[in-house]
Amino acid sequence: MEPKKGQRSVWDFPRPPAIEKVEKVVMVSHQGKSIAETQRALAVLETASPPTYYIPQEDIDMELLEQILGKSSFCEWKGKATYWALKENNSRAIAWSYTNPFPEFEDLKHHLAFYPQHLDCFVDGVEVKAQPGEFYAGWITPDLTGPFKGDSGTGHW
């Protein structure tokens, strides 16, 4: 899709991904309870995907979370990811982090990214739409246009 005025196409995002500083207010909550709020988020931009927002741990109520032991994955760009759950429901991953990211993504250390599929996530007061699928965790905001990886018919991407 051709971007409208004020929009960005995810097809203009780079590969390998890039990190962008976000000074807008980024908030995450669950059932009305605040988990995180910051104006110091980092967005990872990658071709065909909406941004993934990483929030500094200092701006997260870490008392609400616990690391899921034994669960990890590997990103060719960022390294080994560890996963986090709400203490009240520790069976579902709601966030992940990179404890020791590769040097190119060192800025993501001490940050968590949250799945908008399982939480209420906002950028500048606007609730985000979750990127389709359970694997991806991009945050779709009105200033973006796709098609997005994860949409119906994109399984071959």
What CATH number corresponds to the domain at position 106?
A: 2.170.150.40
Residue 157, amino acid: W
Is residue 149 in some structural domain? no
Is residue 155 in some structural domain? no
Is residue 39 in some structural domain? yes
Q: How far apart are CA 114 and CA 122, in angstroms?
A: 11
CA angle centred on 59, ends 148 and 85, rounded to 5° = 65
Residue 126, amino acid: V
For the residues 135-157, what does the mean pLDDT come to?
83
Is residue 100 in some structural domain? yes
Q: How far apart are CA 120 and CA 6, in angstroms?
A: 24
Is residue 60 in some structural domain? yes
Is residue 40 in some structural domain? yes
Least confident piece of the model among 66-70, 71-75, 122-126, 146-150: 146-150
**Overall residue count recorded for the chain in this entry:** 157
pLDDT at residue 87 above 80?
Answer: yes
pLDDT at residue 133 above 90?
Answer: no
Residue 28, C-beta contacts closer than 8 angstroms, at least 6 positions apart: 34, 35, 36, 37, 55, 60, 114, 119, 120, 121, 122
pLDDT band per the 50, 70, 90 thresholds, residue 134:
confident
pLDDT band per the 50, 70, 90 thresholds, residue 156:
low
* Cα 41 from chain centroid (whole Å): 10
> Which pLDDT score, from 0 to 100, does residue 68 have?
95
> Which pLDDT score, from 0 to 100, does residue 154 have?
66
pLDDT at residue 129 above 70?
Answer: yes
pLDDT band per the 50, 70, 90 thresholds, residue 91:
confident
- Whose tokens are 């995180």? That residue is 36
User: What is the tally of structural domains in the chain?
Assistant: 1
Percent of the chain surpassing pLDDT 90: 83
* SS3 label, residue 104: helix
pLDDT at residue 157 above 60?
Answer: no
Q: How far apart are CA 102 and CA 128, in angstroms?
A: 28
pLDDT band per the 50, 70, 90 thresholds, residue 58:
very high
Residue-number span of the structural domain to which 57 is assigned: 8-141
Q: How many CB atoms lie within 10 A of CB 7?
A: 13
For the residues 58-76, what does the mean pLDDT come to?
95
